[in-house]
Amino acid sequence: MQQHLERGRRVLPAVPEGLKTPRARLAWRPPWHEAARLLAGMAALNGWSGLLRRLRITEDDALRLAARANANGTELLDELYVAGVLPEDALYRTLAAEIGLRFEPAVQPRTLILRDAELRMLLARPRGQLHVRTDAGGLSRVLLSSTTLNPGQAHRRFADRAELVSRLRLVAPGTLRAALLHLARRLLLGEALRGLFASRPEFSARQGATSWQGLMLGLLLVGAPVAYALAPRATTWSAFAVITTVFLMCVGLRLAALREAGPANPRLPALANARSLPVYTILVALHSEAEVIDDLFRALARIVWPRSKLEIKFVCEADDALTLAAIARQRLRPWMEIIQVPPCEPRTKPKALAYALPAVGGEFVALYDAEDRPHPMQLLEAWHRFHEGDDRLACVQAPLVVANAAAGALPRMFRMEYALHFNAILPWLSRRGLCFPLGGTSNHFRRRALVGIGSWDPYNVTEDADLGTRFARFGYRCETIACPTLEDAPDEVRVWLCQRTRWFKGWIQTWFVHMRRPARLYRELGPGSFIAVQVMFAGMIASALAHPVLLASVVHLGTKLTLTGALDRGDAALLTLALINMALGYGSFLVLGFRSLDKPDRRGFWKNAALTPAYWLLMSIAALRACWQICWWPHYWEKTPHKRHAVPDAPARSPHTRFRRPSRPSRPAASRVSCR
């Protein structure tokens, strides 16, 4: 990681990590400092001298801020605001005094005069200029919040307009945002819980299986034992035929991806003109994550993107006191915001995200989990992919890499499973334009497309799988990118089992939702994506449930062969079929996993081979738990607890350091993206 960051500083005008304080960051001289001095000086002479004197900002600091604003295509006040030189209230109190307005230190949400449509519009705006009417004690006022004001121009505008000045109040952006979010609680919660179900009930998991799906499931559960009692041999062969078909579907997908599989070999994304970059929003859904908040803030601090064009939203349950207290102990920068979700059922991650989405202003939205350490250049690579693609590209998925594989057997197997999934299967599906389930984190969305399909389903416990399918049904496509995200896998069986149960339960939900009308699904997806949905959801669940049946058959028939010395023709055929299925299943899993791992990670691969049968049995137990929960607690979210990162990322082996040389930039260095 450190090696890549040092390399990144050589190709980007980034603020060195050693400069921690706002004043020190301003004092740092970028390579283009002297060239920008003349241009920045024009801004300093155009109405800013009075405010800068009040703030006691030196000429050099002001010139650097102006140069940064010029490079990023933003306003000087916005750069001054995100620099954090002064607390927000102090900055805007001084600004109010400079332009001749009264400063409003607090806003009572109940005094704001807004319709629901206006409230939605204001919440969805990025930082800029907002006007809100308020009525307190019968006195009508207008609250003004802005990061685009020019103090000199504003002073001249208000100088001879005493009546307007008497009605205007300047308020800090964070203060007004907090009041708007408080006022919108019921509106946002209602839309989060009922929005998708009200507009597109056929895509909502709020209701379970349809009548015909329930009938077919009931017939299967009742008919199978009856059929076995009446015709055991025919029923056994029919069951083995179904199991073989399911296994061959999964094996076929792995073998198809095997030809193009290989370790991730990403490139650093090309540098970009910072002026052309849009506002980017990062959503981080948090629940009972107090232990990893310090790690999370360190990971987010390394992301390369202009801070004046960045929003980071921490989405927390309002009654999660420990997590909120841990965030409060951090120094929240002006581009960061806490969105508190009113506690109610279902307590799921997609409900929290659906609540927060109307309150983001970014053109693109990235989703991370609390334990994630995204590659610093991941946002830049995602933006390049969106910029090069068309409007039908709705989402790009970054690969997930397990960083704590040395912590035990479960993380070791998890690393291989993630490698074959994110380095082989998903890229293979993506290159062919086929539907694939997204990962639960490191998704980068085009916000317009995400809103267009109805946002997250609050009742689906694997919202990522559902979104990938829904995007495809609406004619959008998803692709994969290369900059990875490091995360730690569970190292305890209990924690792993709860997480995998939730995944399986969500895949069952997703399959039932989208198979409510199979013919329509086939028409909307096409044959290739339709088959992919069957394999990725029904196939994976069915194979996990079938694995113990095959294993028990091998043990039973093998024991019978050992004791009697012979098997009849039917039993011999069943034993052969079971062995072939298991050999193909294990073999394709291991070969694809081996091909997808980096060479250093292949050391001791015999351990993966030895652990595979036990690992698959654990998946079978998780699948059985998921089937039980889907009947009794379909919307119950089993939380995966996360620990502090006990295993550091080795610099020589971290995926954050294995990158080819970046593409040559097409812009002069002065216009490249800055990470400030």
Each residue's pLDDT tens digit, 555-590: 988 888 888 877 888 888 889 999 999 999 999 999
Task: Provide the pLDDT for residue 624.
Answer: 95
Q: To the nearest whole percent, how much of the chain has pLDDT over 90?
A: 54
Task: Provide the pLDDT for residue 665.
Answer: 38
Q: Which amino acid type is present at position 446?
A: R
For residue 313, the 8-state DSSP code is E
Task: Provide the pLDDT for residue 176.
Answer: 93
**Token pair listed for 580:** 């072939």
* Helix orientation angle between 518-533 and 463-473, rounded to the nearest 10 degrees: 120
Task: Provide the pLDDT for residue 556.
Answer: 87
In what side-by-side order are the strands of the sheet with 485-487?
373-374, 485-487, 400-402
First to last CA, the chain: 19
**CA angle (91 as vertex; 86, 93 as ends), nearest 5:** 140
How far is residue 419's CA from residue 413's CA, in Å, rounded to a whole number?
A: 10
**Token pair listed for 145:** 């919040």
Q: Is this prediction's pTM over 0.95?
A: no
Neighbours of 389 (CB within 10 A): 14
Task: Specify the higher pLDDT residue, 668 or 676.
Answer: 676
Report whether 455 contacts 394 (CB < 8 A). Answer: no
367-379 pLDDT, tens digit each: 999 999 999 999 9
Task: Provide the pLDDT for residue 219.
Answer: 83
Task: Provide the pLDDT for residue 645.
Answer: 64
SS3 content of the chain, % helix, strand, coil (to 5): 60, 10, 30
Report whether 112 contacts 179 (CB < 8 A). Answer: yes
209-221 pLDDT, tens digit each: 888 888 888 888 8
In this predicted structure, the answer to whether residue 20 has a pLDDT above a threshold of 60 is: no
278-316 pLDDT, tens digit each: 999 999 999 999 999 999 999 999 999 999 999 999 999
Say which range, 400-404, 597-601, 643-647, has the weakest mean pLDDT: 643-647
The residues facing 372 across adjacent strands are none
Task: Provide the pLDDT for residue 661.
Answer: 43
Task: Provide the pLDDT for residue 264.
Answer: 77
Task: Provide the pLDDT for residue 274.
Answer: 86
Confidence of residue 627 (pLDDT cuts 50, 70, 90): very high
Report whether 288 contacts 319 (CB < 8 A). Answer: no
**Token pair listed for 624:** 């059985």
How far is residue 454's CA from residue 283's CA, in Å, rounded to a whole number?
A: 17
In this predicted structure, the answer to whether residue 36 has a pLDDT above a threshold of 50 is: no
In this predicted structure, the answer to whether residue 515 has a pLDDT above a threshold of 50 is: yes
Task: Provide the pLDDT for residue 656.
Answer: 54
Question: Tokens 């389930």 map to which residue?
Answer: 437
In this predicted structure, the answer to whether residue 549 has a pLDDT above a threshold of 70 is: yes
Confidence of residue 204 (pLDDT cuts 50, 70, 90): very high
Give the mean pLDDT of the chain: 85
In this predicted structure, the answer to whether residue 222 has a pLDDT above a threshold of 60 is: yes
